[in-house]
Chain A
Amino acid sequence: MEALKNKVNELLESGGIAGFLGLRNFGSEPFPFLFTRDTAAEVEKITTGAVRYPLSKILIRIAAVYPDAIFGIMCRACDERAIIELFKNTKLRSDKVITIGISCTDDLVQACKCENPQPSNLVSGEAGKKEFDRSDVQKIASMTLEQRFDFWTEQLGKCIKCYGCRNICPVCFCDVCTLEDQPLVKRGEIPPELPSFHLTRAYHMAGRCVDCGLCEEACPVDIPLRTLYRRVRESVKELLDYLPGEERDKVPPIQVLGDGLFEIRD
């Protein structure tokens, strides 16, 4: 924590950043906080928090108001993957954001089954070990079509359409959301049409989902959403050789028309 505080103070004092978006303890609860030169005294209360928080969603809003300012942001490896996608989708500018990496505890890495817990600019803590485990996807893939359909019908049928999955998702950033588009999604209908509501969101995650798992954590009815989006992530990797958040220099394949090299594969 000291290393993080020092880094933030150093950046604020040198004027390298206009503000640092991180977490600050209010009582015993961590909340998002923008540390600036004026509020530098608060840096003492900085915390990494035991749980994750999609700070980049807040940064998008701040950056929209102060497009010329440079901001620092506390980020775990998953946050960084999301931020990389946000750069590509022009929601943030890479020359205006300084990521300050923090490590995740081994417990967290394990609970997340994180495929890559190491942020690039690690300032606080040690990088955890990978815990990649895709047995959730395998389990469903090994079912028969009929079993899969019944499984998902039961799971998705629990949906209360709270939009929590979308709201917490660090790579969901559109001003107008398809899932609230009246002709496609009827207002007030619970559960939403199955499976089109979730199929739509899943499709929109193609080439974007960074497998942070926040959606599944947020879902009040415990739908295995991450498994669904993981499959989409894998499909995009298999079909288009693109792994969101990991390919800093590659153009996201679904946002461009393409180069014609892509052939139909089964």
Chain B
Amino acid sequence: MCSARVSPHFIIRAFQEGADGVLVAGCHIGDCHYLKGNYIAIKRVAILRDLIDFLGISKERLLLEWIAGSEGDKYARVADEFTEKVRSLGPSPIKRIPFREKAVAMVR
């Protein structure tokens, strides 16, 4: 699947469901099968990182990496490193609090 197909809504949904981190991996710039799909992916992720950070979800929880189909070793390394990174950040705040109940209680 082209990294351009990773709609920001997929990423937002993943965080909403409690993902502690989201890794978006795509083909290197210049290697896109659809020519420029990854150009849009990088813009989206960059904006979304700023945005979640402003809402209190560390931008380090969202990562974009270029990993070619032939770079299995890189894939493994990036996944390991990112997992460690996310582990050090702890669980996502979205799941930390029963925010829904808390939010409802705040309104009442």
Contacts and interface: CB of A to CB of B under 8 A. Distances in A.
Contacts of A191: 103-104, 107
Interface in B22-56: 29-30, 35-37, 39-40, 42-44, 46-48, 50-56
Given A147-B56, A264-B46, A156 B51 contact: no
A56 B2 CA distance: 37
Interface residues of A, number: 44
Contacts of B40: 254, 257-258
Given A153-B102, A196-B16, A203-B12, A140 B54 contact: yes
A194 B15 contact: no
A205 to B, nearest CB: 10
B104 A157 contact: yes
Nearest to B14: A196
Interface residues of B, number: 40
A184 B9 contact: yes
A236 B42 CA distance: 13
B57 interface: yes
Interface in A161-207: 178, 184, 191, 193-196, 199-200, 202-203, 206
B91 interface: no
A203 B39 contact: no
A158 B100 CA distance: 11
A239 interface: yes
B51 A151 contact: no
Interface stretch (A90-98, A121-129, A227-235): A227-235
A231 B102 contact: no
A240 B46 CA distance: 10
Given A153-B56, A258-B40, 14 more contacts: A145-B56, A148-B56, A149-B57, A191-B103, A193-B16, A195-B55, A199-B52, A228-B55, A235-B51, A240-B43, A257-B36, A258-B42, A260-B29, A262-B46
Q: Which 8 A-B pairs have the closest CB atoms?
A: A149-B56, A157-B103, A258-B39, A148-B56, A257-B36, A235-B50, A196-B16, A149-B93
Interface of A: 140-141, 145-154, 156-158, 178, 184, 191, 193-196, 199-200, 202-203, 206, 228, 231-232, 235-236, 238-240, 253-254, 257-260, 262, 264-265
